[in-house]
Chains A and B, each alone.
Chain A
Amino acid sequence: QKEVEQDPGPLSVPEGAIVSLNCTYSNSAFQYFMWYRQYSRKGPELLMYTYSSGNKEDGRFTAQVDKSSKYISLFIRDSQPSDSATYLCAMGKSTNAGKSTFGDGTTLTVKP
């Protein structure tokens, strides 16, 4: 069993929709929770990170972490065609800063 499982997708939504992307994990030692966006033929770029539990908002993006359920989510409000990409969740422990374990990604297409 993988340490990090991500909803596989693909996901296709109309422009303006609210998008929910989700990951579960099994290792309770994870303390850092990240979301990366990866456009086709590009490297991932960090969108948001959260330390421990709680919510974090940045513009149209909201990251949620529920450590009791070992479940994290990324919400995208008012989705735009430019949001079309693969979204990767990633997690890390406090004991080895920088070593991330990634999910397999969810590919999102936002149709105009």
Chain B
Amino acid sequence: EAGVAQSPRYKIIEKRQSVAFWCNPISGHATLYWYQQILGQGPKLLIQFQNNGVVDDSQLPKDRFSAERLKGVDSTLKIQPAKLEDSAVYLCASRSQRDRVPYEQYFGPGTRLTVT
């Protein structure tokens, strides 16, 4: 079974520029999460999708961040415009509704964003 795929792996942009990250979850996983992990901190949930609907986006800075999950499969997270404090690793994770463990999430390798 292929894991969660993310691209790009690394991105360097200047502040006020825009950037987009892509995630392809494990096949059949209905739930998809985007996390932000700042260096030295744990992952912080930005948004949670169930199929193509948003379950929780309470911690998403909506003035600059947006996310979509078209057709309930792949997802894109966008930042526009970027700020220096957005420098972090952006992790995508997915989960199957059939998993007995409700918190068993499978993480991708992340996209490391540096804003200069």
Point out the residues of chain B lying under 8 angstroms from A45, CB to CB.
Answer: 106-107
Given contacts A99-B45, A102-B42, A105-B42, contact A46 B56 (CB under 8 A): no
Highest count of chain A CB atoms <10 Å: which of B91, B102, B105: B102
Could you say which interface size class chain B belongs to?
A: 20 to 34
| Chain B interfacial positions (CB closer than 8 Å to A) | 4, 31, 33, 40-45, 48, 55-56, 91, 93, 95, 101-110, 112
**B101, A100: Cβ atoms under 8 Å?**
no
Asked if residues B91 and A99 are in contact (CB atoms below 8 Å), the reply is no
Complex Cα spacing A102 to B107, Å: 14
**Residues of A participating in the B interface, judged by any CB pair closer than 8 Å:** 4, 6, 32, 34, 41-46, 49, 88, 90, 92, 96-100, 102-105
Known A43-B91, A43-B110; contact A100-B41, beta-carbon cutoff 8 A = no
**Do A100 and B40 form a contact, CB below 8 Å, given A43-B93, A43-B110?**
no
* Alpha-carbon distance between A46 and B100 when the two chains are bound, in angstroms: 14
Given A43-B91, A46-B104, does the pair A98, B42 have CB atoms closer than 8 Å? no
Q: Which residue of B lies closest to A107 (CB)?
A: B40
Q: Which residue of A lies closest to B35 (CB)?
A: A102
**Complexed CA–CA distance, A69 and B40 (Å):** 26
Which residues on A sit within 8 Å (CB–CB) of B33?
A: 98
| A61–B41 CA distance with the chains assembled, in angstroms | 23
Q: Are B31 and A98 touching (Cβ within 8 A)? A: yes
